[in-house]
Amino acid sequence: MHEGCSGSFESGQQVVDKLRGMGFSSGQMPVPLEITCEECGENFEMNTFEVKCDCGMVYGVTPCHAFAAEHVKAAGKDY
What residue numbers bound the domain in which 24 lies?
12-77
Residue 33 β-bridge partners: 46
Residue 35 CA to residue 69 CA, distance in Å, equals 7
Residue 25 CA to residue 19 CA, distance in Å, equals 5
Residue 73 forms part of a structural domain: yes
Residue 1 forms part of a structural domain: no
Cβ-based burial of 45 (10 A; exposed 0-12, middle 13-18, buried ≥19): exposed
Q: Residue 35 region, left (φ>0) first, then alpha (ψ -120 to 50), else beta?
A: beta
Residue 37 forms part of a structural domain: yes
Is residue 64 helix, strand or coil?
helix
Residue 48 forms part of a structural domain: yes
Q: For the whole model, what pTM was predicted? A: 0.91
State how many domains the chain has. 1
19-62 pLDDT, tens digit each: 999 999 999 999 999 999 999 999 999 999 999 999 999 999 99
Residue 41 forms part of a structural domain: yes
Residue 4 forms part of a structural domain: no
